[in-house]
């Protein structure tokens, strides 16, 4: 007898339904999160969960691969067509493993690598000191200028000085369009591989609202969630420029994934990626991508109009960074969560506080755009954020570490008693009812 999840494990079922309710009744503004379609979720929960497929299509170490081969080939073909690249690997378990595979394929331990500093918006895997990448490679980090744009003059100076084997372009908290062409010229001058990590902007590139790096870089990595609206997975793409630099680059990438870093791919994840890429080929996807950026720009303007300080004074993509003042990112993120608005605390350029208590918050528009929210809703969201900032304005983050625990505990206790926050929570729920996720 087949049992449903509810029958088999009512405790897990209850947790899943609780998360579903949380998403339905709140505003998800974390820019790396999005609502996958029912079709993607169905593929992810399919019988491909049962299959083991070490190797690549046509070259597996296990039998019974007819449909696993077909689904992986389909995902690859769709990615090639969407991004205009000659080679794609869809087996990375996620973005960080994809990035480490690029290191493995191109570099030897100790090689020089450049990447964007984490407080300036870069990703951990681009060489930040807490990442394993900084242990195995000689890392130089570059920064943004006082306006929040990549400091191309500094990048070129550092590249000429250090002559890195590889340069990363891409970020986890950068609100401006990436200057792929300018960085390509810098990389070419020093003979470096230029790697674009487009995890955050992949969907925007497909939708035509962000410049594509394909013409300018050697390798591209991406996650398949975020703006691409798929399952949690990763892809690595090799460009024509990459193959001209090294005709064996695609083979090196594939070997780095398997057998270098991973065992069998997650076939259910590959199936969901194939569905995701099929959805991205539809005209509706382009309209969604355009609306994501429109919404982000309107949200930015509405926040600024209310006196809220934004890093770089705006956005070119789906993401915004609010400068909350020294260490106060935690205050704003916690207070917004109390009203059903979810975002994440985040470092800002030249942050004087620690990454554990950063001075900013990061927010974005992909999730609410999938819910069909548009400019009028962005104005409402901006007003709610402003009202929350007013409620917590009196709280200051302690410079002295010993006081921080007590201050944060008291802050959270007072949040739960705040009547204005309770009123905003009701208003947020009412809006969310008008824009259901899966109903």
Contact criterion met (CB below 8 Å) for 92 and 257: yes
Q: Find the catalytic residue in 80, 211, 232, 404.
A: 232
Q: Find the catalytic residue in 54, 145, 182, 414.
A: 54
157 annotated active-site: no
226 annotated active-site: yes
Q: Find the catalytic residue in 125, 172, 222, 223.
A: 223
Residues in CB range of 191: below 8 A, 6 or more apart = 163
133 annotated active-site: no
125 annotated active-site: no
DSSP 3-state of 63: coil
Q: Find the catalytic residue in 112, 226, 297, 362.
A: 226
Render 368-391 in DSSP notation, one character per residue: HHHTT--HHHHHHHHHHHHHHHHH
Rounded Cα distance, 376 and 381, in Å: 9
Region class of 32: left (phi > 0), else alpha (psi between -120 and 50), else beta = alpha
Q: Find the catalytic residue in 28, 120, 156, 197.
A: 197
What does residue 87 show for φ and ψ, rounded to 5 degrees?
-145, 135
294 annotated active-site: no
Helix (H) or strand (E) holding 242: helix 240-245
393 annotated active-site: no
Contact criterion met (CB below 8 Å) for 404 and 357: yes
Tokens found for residue 95: 């973005």
**How many CB atoms within 10 Å of residue 364?**
31
User: Which active-site residues does the annotation give?
Assistant: 52, 54, 197, 223, 226, 232
């Amino acid at each position: 007898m087949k049992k449903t999840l509810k029958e088999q494990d009512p405790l897990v079922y209850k947790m899943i339904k609780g998360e579903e309710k949380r998403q339905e009744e709140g505003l998800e503004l974390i820019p790396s999160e999005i609502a996958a379609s029912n079709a993607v979720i169905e593929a992810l929960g399919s019988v491909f969960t049962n299959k083991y497929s070490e190797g690549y299509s046509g070259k597996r170490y296990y039998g019974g691969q007819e449909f696993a081969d077909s689904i992986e080939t389909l995902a690859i073909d769709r990615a090639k067509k969407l991004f205009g690249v000659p080679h794609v690997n869809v087996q990375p378990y996620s973005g960080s493993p994809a990035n480490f595979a690029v290191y493995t394929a191109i570099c030897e331990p100790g090689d020089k690598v450049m990447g964007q500093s984490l407080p300036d918006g870069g990703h951990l895997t681009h060489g930040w000191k807490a990442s394993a990448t900084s242990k195995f490679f000689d890392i130089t980090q570059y920064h943004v200028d006082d306006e929040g744009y990549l400091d191309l003059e500094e990048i070129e100076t550092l590249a000429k000085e250090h002559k890195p084997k590889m340069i990363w372009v891409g970020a986890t908290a950068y609100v401006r369009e990436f200057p792929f062409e300018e960085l390509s010229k810098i990389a070419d001058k020093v003979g470096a591989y230029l790697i674009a990590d487009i995890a955050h902007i992949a969907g925007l590139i497909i939708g035509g609202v962000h410049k594509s790096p394909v013409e300018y870089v050697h390798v591209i990595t991406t996650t398949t969630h975020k703006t691409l609206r798929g399952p949690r997975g990763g892809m690595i793409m090799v460009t024509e420029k990459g193959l001209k630099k090294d005709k064996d680059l695609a083979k090196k990438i594939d070997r780095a994934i398997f057998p270098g870093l991973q065992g069998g791919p997650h076939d259910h994840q590959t199936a969901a990626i194939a569905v995701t890429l099929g959805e991205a080929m539809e005209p509706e996807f382009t309209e969604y991508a355009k609306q994501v950026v429109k919404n982000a720009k309107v949200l930015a303007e509405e926040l600024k109009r209310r006196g809220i300080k934004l890093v770089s004074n705006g956005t070119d993509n789906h993401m915004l960074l609010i400068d909350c003042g020294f260490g106060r990112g935690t205050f704003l993120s916690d207070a917004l969560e109390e009203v059903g608005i979810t975002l994440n605390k985040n470092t800002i350029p030249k942050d004087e506080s620690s990454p554990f208590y950063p001075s900013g918050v990061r927010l974005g528009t992909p999730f609410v755009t999938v819910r069909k929210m548009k400019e009028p809703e962005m104005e409402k969201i901006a007003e709610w954020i402003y009202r929350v900032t007013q409620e917590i304005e009196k709280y200051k983050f302690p410079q002295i570490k010993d006081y921080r625990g007590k201050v944060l505990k008291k802050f959270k206790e007072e949040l739960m008693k705040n009547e204005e926050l309770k009123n905003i929570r009701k208003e947020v729920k009412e809006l969310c009812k008008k824009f259901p996720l899966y109903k």
